[in-house]
């Protein structure tokens, strides 16, 4: 370790690693965006990276010079990424990006690092900045790529996809024709009904869950009764029962009573899977509310139920929003029970409908369009109300 | 005032509490406790998918032949191959234009125009024709009239779900052979690596975002996407991304020169399990990231300032200051995620269907109950899962009572 702690060692080593990271990132991005063949070269990346790392130690001017050299040498064909027969514009953008982001990143990573001996502090800071940069790129890539593929696939057609699976460019001249899969899903595959079913079921689940869990949570949080401690604990136990274990007897019972294949049956089951979570989240919140306000209400002659309705609930609107959002998400995304209990296409939820698209006869842009239809509403809700959502997720130590 | 309901006021409070909890308790009892008991019951029963309907007598009526040979044929069948039906009685109204030729044959009697046939008990797999010779002036009209009046057949049968036959066959079946141990091994691999992976990746992501900068909120929202999106949407996206023939991942790897031929990510034996575990890590790192970040942000900053004064390096600060503070939440997350990963069904079911060496215990429940149509064996696997969970929860509660943070 000690041998590494010199600017002229740390700089080139981090430089080589960073340039390779950037080369891979740019190559993958360019391939996904243009469909043209870009590939990172380990040997050239290492070579140029060592040079770039060293140059970044000696101020902005030398860094800018190396960035220009990197871009130029890339176009000639000896840069950190190799581009074979791509268009000139794509090549300039690709190699330019390697030069700019490579050196910009290195300047940030090696900020305040002298060329000579480094203190342990300076050395570790540099390594941490490298890891941070890598982390941002890595996480953004792994999160975005599947969603990018999902959206882009839904806008293309089977033949184009088979020809070059990397070519996600969209032919904008098709105009509204781009959305053909979506139109077909709504026109021929009943997705309008599924969307409505999913929405109705999710809203009903939220309402029933709140109706059941608010009084229960209040009782656990505020009232004294024998068995309160063990009760609030056994709520957690219910989280731990796997759905598939319950699904089997529920399937049998519903088959025998004719509740299978009905939205009513689904609405009877979904809330019970969410009530324990909601109860646990709400009782935590209720506990944190000041008890004095409620006592004042009781003194003024309000009954307990009136106190809950007039004092506790208005005070806990943010918590109710979190819980509702979270429950809505669970119900909207639920797959297992819908898959097992629903066979009749007119009663399908979105998730069940998408599962029915998974066959070799249905082109996969339809499958992906279905996935987008299911994802967009929940994402919109989530992004709009992210603050409540993250709070809700952390508040209840919630199940997955 | 006593807590244990000694005074009238306290007793009233307790009554109100139970009243408020009653809806939750009843619904949970119906949908969680009852099915759990049912699973134990079913696991000792020889039940197949077909046995969910109790055996019933099935009857078809037809008028056959002509002139001298004219007859009503009743074909009676037991829907079950092996279970008897008791007190099977057939009743039918003879239409006015039809007359019996002589007395009705054996189990049948005629009173007025009502034909009654008492078959008693019919065995499993029973399938017989009963011919009743008739005469009629207009044969076509008779045929129509006779077939127009639906015969009624009744019988009582016990369902295998409710009678007193028990068997250990289900458990013998699932423990038999090497398959069970393979499934258990896959489950352990998936659970341990899925849980640890999600924790470590989540810890890394939390460290990245544990500083305020422009766009921190956006990145935090973005990193939660995998968890918030419907599992079916992301699972199918992964399948399409990693498709062996036309997947972008393969095309990318070939183009980058990493591999020469397409890799069947979700179809080859050890790789499929690794991919399924990777998917689990990808999907659930946001959850651990969120909890760890929340804990990190509540750590006192004074401590770090003091450490800075003492000249501690960043890694030292992480190792000696942050990590001990995070140990509590990390262990609670580990236990919770361990249990939930163990319970996970949808992800593997959608990605591989349990093929290519990815069948975990939960997928095995589905496989036994629906693919092999043996509900009893499926229930037996479910019982095994439940017993494992009892052990886990025991550890969980012993630990959480000390931790009490969550």
Q: Map out the domains of chain B as residue ranges.
A: 55-156, 169-403
Contact A244, A336 (CB under 8 A): yes
Share of chain B above pLDDT 70, in %: 97
**pLDDT(B297) > 70:** yes
Give the DSSP per-residue string, A230-255: HHHHHHHHHHTS-HHHHHHHHHHHHH
Alpha carbons A38 and B252: distance in angstroms, whole number: 9
Q: Does B265 touch chain A (CB under 8 A)?
A: no
Q: How many residues does chain A have?
A: 400
Task: State the smallest CA–CA distance between residue B291 and chain A in angstroms.
Answer: 6
Task: Tell me the pTM.
Answer: 0.87
Contact B223, A350 (CB under 8 A): no
Q: Does B375 touch chain A (CB under 8 A)?
A: yes
Q: What is the rounded average pLDDT of the residues A176-181?
A: 84
Tell whether A138 and A187 lie within a shared domain: no
From the CA atom positions of chain B, what is the Rg in Å? 34
pLDDT given at position A398: 42
pLDDT given at position B205: 94
Helices A59-76 and A42-57: crossing angle in degrees, nearest 10, is 160
Q: Of A191 and A167, which is predicted with more confidence?
A: A191
Q: Does A30 touch chain B (CB under 8 A)?
A: no
Calculate the average pLDDT of chain A: 86
Tell whether A232 and A309 lie within a shared domain: yes
Domain count, chain A: 2
Residue A171 placed within a domain: no
Tell whether A194 and A303 lie within a shared domain: yes
The shortest CB-CB distance from B233 to any of A161, A243, A375 is to: A375
Tell whether A6 and A89 lie within a shared domain: yes
Task: Tell me the CATH architecture of domain B55-156.
Answer: Sandwich (2.60)
**pLDDT(B213) > 90:** no
Q: Which residues of B touch A233 (CB under 8 A)?
A: 397
Tell whether A366 and A290 lie within a shared domain: yes
Mean pLDDT is highest, among A380-384, B33-37, B193-197, for B193-197
Instruction: Answer with the one of A91, A123, A148 that is the final residue of a domain.
Output: A148
- Specify the residue for token string 């806990």: A316
Token representation of residue B354? 């349990």
pLDDT, tens only, B304-335: 888 888 888 888 888 888 888 888 888 888 88
Residue A159 placed within a domain: no
Q: What is the rounded average pLDDT of the residues B209-214?
A: 84
**pLDDT(A303) > 70:** yes
Q: What is the rounded average pLDDT of the residues A123-147?
A: 93
Q: Of A320 and B9, which is predicted with more confidence?
A: A320
Tell whether A277 and A361 lie within a shared domain: yes
pLDDT given at position A395: 57
Q: Would you tell me how many other CB atoms lie within 10 Å of the CB of residue A159?
A: 8
Q: Of B330 and A397, which is predicted with more confidence?
A: B330
Tell whether A338 and A232 lie within a shared domain: yes
The confidence band for A137, taking pLDDT boundaries of 50, 70 and 90, is very high
Alpha carbons B239 and B247: distance in angstroms, whole number: 8
Q: How many residues does chain B have?
A: 406
The confidence band for B93, taking pLDDT boundaries of 50, 70 and 90, is confident
Tell whether A242 and A135 lie within a shared domain: no
Calculate the average pLDDT of chain B: 85
- Residue A66: closest CA among A93, A23, A101: A101
Token representation of residue B5? 């309901």
Q: What is the rounded average pLDDT of the residues A45-68?
A: 86
pLDDT given at position B361: 93
Alpha carbons A308 and A321: distance in angstroms, whole number: 17
- Pick the residue from chain B with its C-alpha nearest to A128: B314
- Pick the residue from chain A with its C-alpha nearest to B368: A248
pLDDT given at position A397: 47
Helices A350-357 and A191-222: crossing angle in degrees, nearest 10, is 140
In which domain, by residue range, is A332 found? 183-395
| Chain mean position to CA A199 | 21
3-class SS of residue A223 = coil
Q: What is the ipTM of this complex?
A: 0.91
CATH of B169-403, one of 3.30.56.10, 1.10.10.60, 3.40.30.10, 1.10.3720.10: 1.10.3720.10
CA distances from B301 to A122, A145, A246, B294, B297 (A): 21, 36, 46, 14, 9
The confidence band for B2, taking pLDDT boundaries of 50, 70 and 90, is very low
**pLDDT(B81) > 70:** yes
Q: What is the rounded average pLDDT of the residues A52-73?
A: 85
Tell whether A309 and A383 lie within a shared domain: yes
Token representation of residue A128? 């941490």
pLDDT, tens only, A320-344: 988 999 899 999 999 999 999 999 8
Instruction: Answer with the one of A133, A148, A163 that is the final residue of a domain.
Output: A148
Q: What is the rounded average pLDDT of the residues B7-20?
A: 88
Task: Name every residue whose Cβ is closer than 8 Å to that of residue A395 and which is 6 or more positions away in sequence.
Answer: A281, A284, A285, A319, A322
- Decide if A216 and B20 are in contact by the 8 Å CB cutoff: yes
Tell whether A132 and A243 lie within a shared domain: no
Q: Which residues of B touch A371 (CB under 8 A)?
A: 230, 232-234, 236-237
Q: Does B323 touch chain A (CB under 8 A)?
A: no
Tell whether A144 and A192 lie within a shared domain: no
Contact A397, B287 (CB under 8 A): no
The CATH number assigned to the domain holding A214 equals 1.10.3720.10
Q: Does B390 touch chain A (CB under 8 A)?
A: no
pLDDT given at position B187: 95
Tell whether A209 and A352 lie within a shared domain: yes
Share of chain A above pLDDT 90, in %: 30
The confidence band for B406, taking pLDDT boundaries of 50, 70 and 90, is very low
């Amino acid at each position: 370790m000690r041998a590494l702690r010199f600017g002229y060692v740390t700089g080139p080593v981090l430089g080589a690693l960073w340039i390779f990271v950037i080369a891979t990132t740019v190559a993958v991005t360019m391939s996904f965006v243009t469909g043209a063949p870009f590939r990172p070269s380990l040997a050239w990346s290492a070579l140029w990276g060592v040079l770039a790392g060293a140059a970044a130690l000696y101020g902005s001017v030398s860094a800018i010079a190396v960035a220009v050299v990197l871009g130029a040498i890339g176009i000639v064909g000896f840069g950190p990424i190799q581009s074979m027969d791509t268009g000139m514009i794509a090549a300039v953008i690709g190699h330019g990006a390697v030069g700019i982001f490579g050196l910009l990143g290195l300047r940030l990573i090696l900020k305040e690092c002298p060329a000579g001996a480094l203190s342990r502090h300076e050395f570790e800071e540099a390594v941490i900045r490298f890891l941070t940069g890598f982390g941002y790129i890595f996480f953004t890539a792994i999160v975005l790529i599947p969603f990018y593929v999902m959206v882009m696939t839904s806008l293309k057609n089977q033949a184009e996809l088979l020809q070059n699976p990397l070519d996600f460019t969209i032919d904008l001249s098709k105009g509204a024709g781009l959305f053909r899969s979506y139109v077909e899903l709504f026109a021929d595959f009943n997705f309008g009904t599924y969307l409505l079913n999913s929405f109705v079921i999710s809203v009903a689940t939220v309402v029933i869950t709140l109706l059941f869990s608010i009084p229960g949570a209040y009782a656990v949080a505020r009232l004294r009764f024998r068995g309160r401690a063990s009760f609030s604990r056994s709520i957690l136990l219910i989280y731990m029962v796997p759905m598939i274990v319950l699904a089997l007897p529920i399937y049998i019972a519903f088959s025998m009573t004719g509740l299978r294949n009905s939205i009513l049956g689904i609405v009877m089951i979904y809330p019970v899977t969410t009530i324990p979570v909601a109860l646990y989240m709400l009782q935590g919140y209720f506990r944190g509310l000041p008890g004095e306000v409620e006592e004042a209400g009781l003194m003024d002659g309000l009954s307990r139920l009136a106190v809950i309705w007039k004092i506790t609930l208005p005070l806990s609107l943010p918590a109710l929003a979190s819980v509702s959002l979270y429950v809505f998400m669970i119900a909207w995304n639920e797959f297992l029970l819908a898959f097992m209990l629903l066979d009749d296409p007119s009663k399908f939820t979105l998730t069940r409908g998408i599962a029915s698209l998974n066959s070799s006869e249905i082109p996969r842009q339809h499958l992906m369009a279905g996935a987008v239809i299911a994802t967009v509403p929940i994402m919109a809700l989530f992004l709009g109300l992210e603050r409540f959502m993250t709070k809700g997720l952390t508040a209840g130590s919630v199940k997955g | 005032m006593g807590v244990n309901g000694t005074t009238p006021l306290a007793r009233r409070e307790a009554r109100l509490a139970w009243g408020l909890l009653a809806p939750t308790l009843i619904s949970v009892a119906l949908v969680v406790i009852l099915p759990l008991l049912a699973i134990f019951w079913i696991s000792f029963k020889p039940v197949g998918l077909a046995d969910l309907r109790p055996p019933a007598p099935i009857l078809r009526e037809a008028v056959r032949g002509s002139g001298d040979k004219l007859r009503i044929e009743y074909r009676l069948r037991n829907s079950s191959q092996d279970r008897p039906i008791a007190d099977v009685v057939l009743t039918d109204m003879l239409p006015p234009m039809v007359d019996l030729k002589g007395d009705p044959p054996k189990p049948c009697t005629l009173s007025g125009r009502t034909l009654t046939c008492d078959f008693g008990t019919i065995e499993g797999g029973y399938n017989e024709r009963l011919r009743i010779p008739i005469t009629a002036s207009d044969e076509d009209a008779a045929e129509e009239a006779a077939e127009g009046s639906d015969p009624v057949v009744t019988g009582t049968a016990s369902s295998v779900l409710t009678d007193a036959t028990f068997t250990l066959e289900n458990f013998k079946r699932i423990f038999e052979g090497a398959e069970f141990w393979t499934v258990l091994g896959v489950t352990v691999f998936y659970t341990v690596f899925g849980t640890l992976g999600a924790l470590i990746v989540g810890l890394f992501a939390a460290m990245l975002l544990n500083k305020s900068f422009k766009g921190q909120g956006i990145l935090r929202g973005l990193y939660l996407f995998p968890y918030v999106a419907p599992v079916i949407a992301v699972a199918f996206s992964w399948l399409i991304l990693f498709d062996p023939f036309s997947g972008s991942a393969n095309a990318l790897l070939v183009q980058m020169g990493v591999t020469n031929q397409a890799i069947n990510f979700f179809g080859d034996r050890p790789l499929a399990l690794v991919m399924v575990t990777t998917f689990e890590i990808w999907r659930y790192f946001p959850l651990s990231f969120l909890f760890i970040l929340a804990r990190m942000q509540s750590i006192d900053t004074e401590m770090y300032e003091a450490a800075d004064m003492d000249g501690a390096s960043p890694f030292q600060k992480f190792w000696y200051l942050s990590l001990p503070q995070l140990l509590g939440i990390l262990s609670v997350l580990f236990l919770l995620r361990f249990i939930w990963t163990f319970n996970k069904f949808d992800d593997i079911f959608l990605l591989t269907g349990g093929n290519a060496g990815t069948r975990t215990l939960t997928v095995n429940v589905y496989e036994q109950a629906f693919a092999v149509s043996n509900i009893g064996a499926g229930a037996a696997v479910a019982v095994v899962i439940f017993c494992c969970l009892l052990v886990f929860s025991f550890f969980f509660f012993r630990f959480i009572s000390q931790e009490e943070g969550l």
